[in-house]
Homo-oligomer: A and B are copies of this chain.
Amino acid sequence: MKDRVFNFSAGPAVLPEPVLLEAQRDLLALPGVGASILEISHRSRTFEKIIADAEANLRQLLGVPDDYAVLFLQGGARLQFSMIPMNLMGGGRRLCNYLVTGSWSKYAAQEAVKFGETKVIWDGKATNYDRLPESSDLKVDPKAAFLYYASNETIQGVQFRDEPDTGDVPLVCDSSSDFLSRPVEIKKYGIYYACAQKNAGPAGVTVVIIRKDLLPRSSEALPGYLNFHTHAEAQSLWNTAPTFPIYILGLVTKWLVDDVGGLAKMESINRSKSKLLYDVIDSSDGFYVGHSQPKWRSMMNVSFRLPSEELTKTFVEKAEKQGMTDLKGHRSVGGIRASLYNAMPVEGVERLRDFMVEFCEQNAGVAVAGQQRD
């Protein structure tokens, strides 16, 4: 695998090599089938087993109770931004609550406005989304159809440790960028969803785990594809499912079960990986400045700034020459972002850590001198 780089992309992102190798081996013909996973009917027995296995793996890893449906949909988180309010505000419900903790929850709240009164009960804008609310800060409206939040903000690199307490109001979580990175208690959620292309597979499939008692809220007047109830009744085969992304998601979740040994183990590895970089940031005497306040640092997306745009550019270029790609931060935050999803090997993070230490040693003096000249 010497021709593979360490890919720190925020998504679509690195996948486990054993998954890629199995997919490659079988790409011309699945064993015993004689046709590619790309060519078989979504209604074939072969694919029925693939999607059932993917669901079973997810249920095992996340401990999904029987009173929750697991859906495999298209359209990414973006389509969920519409589907969630369109479905959950059915039955004459008028009000929903949002926590705006970064770019993605902000986009979600902007979309919800089209479908009902959308009350943002916490907004991190004043400090450029560098922190998250304590549960005690939140006043959830008891009449809200749901409270929506994002457990991890990919761009800002802030991550909730625990779920907000919403009482009887259904809690909806966009877990796109920390899905399957740690254990969660699904029973705390009304909807727990994630697009696959960060921690669970390639772009093109979104997992929606929904408590079944919410399904009757879906109105028959909704656009057909946007109806959770329809998809749940058809077990995600109302229409042609995105067969290949579901197949890869099945292999990734199998890797998590068999090779990694579950989500508690995965969390421990992820915690160690992110600590490698945060330790460098904290001991860099201000050369590296993390975007997130320490308490809310993300295990998945490590966002930090360097003393100047010039140094940031040099950092990205030099890292790329050493086989570490996609480190440029999102334009809204700037600096560097290293995404350390499940499939990023420890060796990749160690190489980045060593590079950061060396880059700091080589440039800290220059940076200080440069700042003094300004």
Q: Given A203-B244, A242-B204, A82–B28 Cβ distance below 8 Å?
A: no
Q: Are A28 and B38 in contact, CB atoms less than 8 angstroms apart?
A: no
A window 77-118: CB within 8 A of B: 77-79, 81-83, 86, 111, 114
Residue among B9, B34, B204, B221 making CB contact with A325, cutoff 8 Å: B34
- Quote the shortest CB–CB distance from A144 to chain B (angstroms): 20
Q: Is the interface of A mostly helix, strand, loop or mixed?
A: loop
Extra A-B contacts (17), CB below 8 Å, given A10-B41, A79-B223: A4-B34, A4-B35, A9-B35, A12-B38, A12-B39, A14-B39, A15-B38, A17-B28, A24-B28, A74-B74, A74-B204, A75-B79, A75-B225, A76-B239, A78-B224, A78-B225, A204-B242
Which residues of chain B are near A243, meaning CB under 8 Å?
A: 12, 202-204
Inter-chain contact A15/B39, CB cutoff 8 Å: yes
In whole angstroms, how far apart are the Cα atoms of A63 and B34 in the complex?
36
Contact partner of A74 (CB less than 8 A), chosen from B21, B33, B75, B86, is B75
- CB of A171 closer than 8 Å to a CB of B: no
Name A5's contact: one of B10, B35, B86, B326 (CB within 8 Å): B35
Inside 8 A of A21's CB, which chain B residues have their CB? 28
The complex places the Cα of A13 from the Cα of B195 at a distance, in Å, of 25
CB distance from A243 to the nearest CB of B (A): 5
How many copies the complex holds: the figure is: 2
Q: Can you list 26 A-B contacts (CB < 8 A)?
A: A9-B39, A12-B41, A12-B42, A12-B243, A17-B28, A20-B27, A20-B38, A24-B28, A34-B325, A38-B202, A38-B248, A74-B75, A74-B79, A75-B79, A76-B239, A79-B223, A82-B223, A82-B224, A82-B226, A83-B223, A202-B244, A203-B244, A204-B205, A204-B242, A223-B226, A244-B245
- Chain B residues with Cβ under 8 A from A11's Cβ? 41, 240
Contact partner of A81 among B74, B224, B245, CB < 8 A? B224
- Could you tell me how many residues of chain A have their Cβ less than 8 Å away from some Cβ of chain B? 66
**Min C-beta distance of A92 to chain B, whole Å:** 19
CA distance A41 to B223 in the complex (A): 30
Known contacts A78-B224, A223-B111; A203/B42 CB under 8 A: yes
- Interface residue A36 (Cβ < 8 Å from any Cβ of B): yes
Residue A356 is within 8 A (CB to CB) of chain B in the complex: no
List B contacts of A13 (CB < 8 A).
Answer: 39
A197 within 8 A of B: yes
* A86 x B248 contact (CB < 8 A): no
Closest 8 CB pairs of A and B: A82-B223, A5-B34, A204-B242, A74-B74, A78-B239, A24-B27, A38-B202, A79-B225
Whether B20 contacts A36 by the Cβ 8 Å rule is: yes
